Structure 1
Amino acid sequence: MRRPARIAALLGALVPAAASAQVAPGQALQQKPYFALYEVLGKPENWKIHGTFRPRVEGLGGQFRPAPAPATNDLFSMQATLFAEYDTGPVRIGGEIFDSRAYFQRRNSNSIATTEVNAFELGQAYLGFDMADVAGLGTVSTLTVGRFTQNVGSRRLIARNQFRNTINAFTGIAYDWENAAKDRLRLFYTLPHYRLPDDRAGILSNSIEWDQESLDTQLFGGIFTKAGVLGGILEAYGYGLLERDSGSQLEGIQTRDRRLFTPGFRLYRVPKPGQFDHELEVIGQVGVARNTAAVTDVTDVPVTAYFVHAEAGYTFKAAWTPRLSLHYDHASGDSANPNSYTRFDTLYGARRFDYGPTSLYGAVQRANLISPGIRFEIAPDPDWDAFVDYRTLWLENPTDSFAATGVRDRTGRSGTFAGHQIEGRLRYWLVPRSVVLDSGVAYLLKGDVLRNAPNAPNTGDTIYGYMTTTFFF
């Protein structure tokens, strides 16, 4: 492969992502939309310019969260992005604006949060330096400095969010390297952005306020990817997180003062028609933290936590490209011992691709969870795809809150069975390469814990649905 082409391939995989929506198979975001802003502007030389607009409506009944969360909930949200990059040759100058807004939130809704609202934010503003052979003959490298987003590894620990309305972003430096054998290395040191506004009035009014980064929260580490291992790809990584309270006790940001080291590995094989595929990811977590973010909690306790994801699938060589896969997730929960902390922390990862929609739903996450499941997917043609997913839900520790629900029985008497989750999704290109419809439902059949724990709401089973339309330009 010629060197410029290899640099382009590396950039496509590793530099700050500009896509904000998942797309159907066969319709990569790199394909030119029918209405392309870049063409409207006269195809300026050495520029990349594109954007998205995504309105979404969603509703939930049979709330699983404890009071005062509303028993039923609905939300209308909008996300817009505008990305531009100028390539001078050895240096690229890039930036991207995010605009995430939400409307019609109900009182005490979980949507009144920075996960839904972050209006008119300069999420990316970076310099990218492209280098060839600097780290050895036949290698390509990039160095990125400034504000950027990042998808690292499986995206379970560090990700640019796709379903969630707001997007993780970081300020810092990242170095990416690749050799001719497709081995890759990424090293980074970043300051995660703290999204603002974070007060109720500011969120409800979709106020515009510049996000903050500071040395009070630091995320750093590296990941090495080796191709051709046991018929697949091997990733090995280690990430560090240093966190402390910032500002005054009355106006500052209170945290659990996490100081964590999170090492792990992932072995996977990409699904292909007529082949078996697999994925195994094992993550450990050690360090110190505090049990709560309360100002009065000044006691550091040791952290020991873990997470395992295992998956095996087969893609049939048939017209609709059906794939059947088995899944297993196991994340540690916190014990009743106040002198230690054992609940797994997913850092800045995404979870929609594993556990279903987030936003008003998002019951399942990588914490205090044991969950086997099965998924069936189809992709009949490039215009649409769909899947159905079923998983059972158990607590790893009966005295800790279950996953992301907030439901907890400190005595453990409610047991460990949380219920069953059934999820389905359909994506269809209304206008190929330009407008995609994404709709889905999730049904949570509550088990003993979600029905009988002291703070479990008496609202019946949970039903959730959403519909999203994304416009690419």
Structure 2
Amino acid sequence: MHLSRYLFALAFCPNVACAQDLDISGTVRVRYEAIANQPRTGFNLDDDLVNLRTTLLAKYKSGATVLAAEVWDSRIYGEDAGTPVTTGESNALELVQAYASREFSLVDGARATLRGGRFTLNIGSRRLVAADDYRNTTNGYTGLHAEIAAKGRVTASLIYVLPQQRRPDDPASLRRNAIELDREGFDLVLWGGTVAKSRALGPFMLEGSFYHLGERDRPSRPTRDRSLNTYGGRLLRDSSPGKLDLEVEAYYQSGTISASAAVTAATVPVSAWFFHGDTGYTFTKGWRPRLSVEYDRASGDRPGNRYGRFDTLFGMRRADLAPAGLYNAVGRANISAAGARLEVTPSKRLDGFVSYHALWLAERRDSFSTTGIRDATGRSGNFAGHQLDARLRWWVRPAALRFEANAVMLSKGHFLEVAPNAPQGGTTLYGSLNLTANF
């Protein structure tokens, strides 16, 4: 433990022995992002924003028991009334994690770790349950989490949690970085889990998942009353030099949802689905490039007595589709995206990728992905455009200071040009510069 961390630890521990078991770490990330020709409806056509995120984690370990607490402070600067600001950007001074965990021995050599309290989660592919890292804020959960490792390379991650509802969530408070404790309650519940077996089919890992999300109104807080069952699985062969890799993941979603947030809205059945597939090859020499092709499809809603728009729950988007932040236009809903990706690792300190996706609406009468742009008649077609996305990361000082640059170009297709509420403007350009210090 560095001297500064050690002295900080002594402030929380009664003696030197305790301080030696306490680890203090944190991060500070500053981001400048800008966009020209915003593709989402209702916001500034051109905009920029400064994001500042600071985290501080204290973790005490004694044998099989761990106590941990982590504060996140996510703030924004330089916004105006037309800047798209949500709880994804601003959540000042929040205790995101405060938990206790303990490891147990089970029968037949199996082991389990049980965690209770407030915590973050990253499960499986992270497409349903994740702690988003690119976004300025993160997803937190309050409840119980069990991780099990059994014989035969079988693992399981099981949860019963109340997702933290970030507060405040009104625009005025978000813009001034107001401080208010997040809340959790039984009006929003997530439970289920993922079970995986490595080398289940030759070199392939096989994974199965089921999650139930239950949501209901609170006084002055109307919701869509989601009651969603999401189930499916994944087949995975990890990438390695000189070999083909493969990932196929699919989910079906059933249950019920209110037709709107109005108290008198009708309840309709849900029938939605999502598919992701990619295959690639990693070369053995030079920059060890990995070249892959990939396809994503998430269902959209259509007229009738069923709701068909896939809900990604608390999943990430950056790894598959595009950045959040000011761009935030391409997510796992009403989308059909086919593309290719090139990833390179020139050294231990430098990595990057560039990807191309052709984008369509899965259902032409629903709004395209997360843009809010819709043609209820379907006459604007279903081609949304061509997206180029790139990222470069460089450890300025290994493990201590990292620079990251992101760039996106969206050449708008017919739908994004002519749909009734599509913003004016040509090709969308987005960029962000990030500097993260770890201590």
TM range (shorter): over 0.9
Verify the 8 A CA contact 2:213 2:228 in the aligned structure 1: yes
Within a 5 Å distance, the mapping from 1:438-449 to structure 2 comes to 438-449=404-415
**2:302: which partner in 1?**
335
TM-score under structure 1 length normalisation: 0.89
Task: After TM superposition, give the deviation of residue 145 of structure 1 in Å.
Answer: 0.7
Residue segments in structure 2 that go unaligned for 5+ positions in a row: 11-15
Aligned residue type for 2:76? A
Matched residues in 2 for 1:90 and 1:155: separation?
27
Residue segments in structure 1 that go unaligned for 5+ positions in a row: 1-31
**1:175: which partner in 2?**
146
**1:238: which partner in 2?**
210
Matched, 1:461 2:432: no
TM-score under structure 2 length normalisation: 0.95
Which piece of structure 1 moves more, 101-110 or 56-65? 101-110
Matched residues in 2 for 1:299 and 1:291: separation?
6
Verify the 8 A CA contact 2:9 2:22 in the aligned structure 1: no
3-state secondary structure, aligned to 1:202 = helix
Aligned residue type for 1:381? S
Task: After TM superposition, give the deviation of residue 291 of structure 1 in Å.
Answer: 2.4
3-state secondary structure, aligned to 1:355 = coil
Verify the 8 A CA contact 2:41 2:372 in the aligned structure 1: yes
3-state secondary structure, aligned to 1:197 = coil
**1:70: which partner in 2?**
44
RMSD: 1.5
Matched residues in 2 for 1:35 and 1:305: separation?
54
Identity within the alignment, %: 42
Q: Work out which of the residue numbers 293, 299, 308 in structure 2 matches 1:326.
A: 293
| Alignment CA distance shift 1:181-1:39 (3 Å) | farther
Task: After TM superposition, give the deviation of residue 36 of structure 1 in Å.
Answer: 6.9
Matched residues in 2 for 1:328 and 1:400: separation?
20
Question: What whole-Å deviation, never above 9, does each CA across 1:39-92 have from its counterpart, x for those lacking one?
Answer: 87578222222111000000000111123x111011001111111111222321
Question: What whole-Å deviation, never above 9, does each CA across 1:316-372 have from its counterpart, x for those lacking one?
Answer: 0012110000000011000022x2100000001110111121110021111111111
Q: Work out which of the residue numbers 137, 155, 163 in structure 2 matches 1:184.
A: 155
3-state secondary structure, aligned to 2:320 = helix
**1:128: which partner in 2?**
101
Between Structure 1 and Structure 2, which shows a larger proportion of strand residues? 2
Task: After TM superposition, give the deviation of residue 138 of structure 1 in Å.
Answer: 1.6
**2:55: which partner in 1?**
81
Task: After TM superposition, give the deviation of residue 108 of structure 1 in Å.
Answer: 2.2
Task: After TM superposition, give the deviation of residue 35 of structure 1 in Å.
Answer: 8.9
Verify the 8 A CA contact 1:38 1:50 in the aligned structure 2: no
Matched, 1:55 2:25: no
Matched residues in 2 for 1:320 and 1:197: separation?
45
Matched residues in 2 for 1:53 and 1:326: separation?
35
Aligned residue type for 1:330? R
Matched residues in 1 for 2:8 and 2:192: separation?
41
Number of aligned residue pairs: give it: 431
Matched residues in 1 for 2:433 and 2:329: separation?
18
Higher relative contact order (CA 8 A, sep 6+): 1
Matched residues in 1 for 2:242 and 2:122: separation?
29
Q: Work out which of the residue numbers 263, 281, 286 in structure 1 matches 2:231.
A: 263
**1:117: which partner in 2?**
90
Within a 5 Å distance, the mapping from 1:34-433 to structure 2 comes to 37-38=5-6, 41=9, 44-67=19-42, 69-110=43-84, 112-132=85-105, 134=106, 136-230=107-201, 231-247=203-219, 252-293=220-261, 295-337=262-304, 339-433=305-399
Verify the 8 A CA contact 1:35 1:434 in the aligned structure 2: no
3-state secondary structure, aligned to 2:260 = coil
Aligned residue type for 1:370? S
**1:6: which partner in 2?**
none
| Alignment CA distance shift 1:36-1:321 (3 Å) | farther
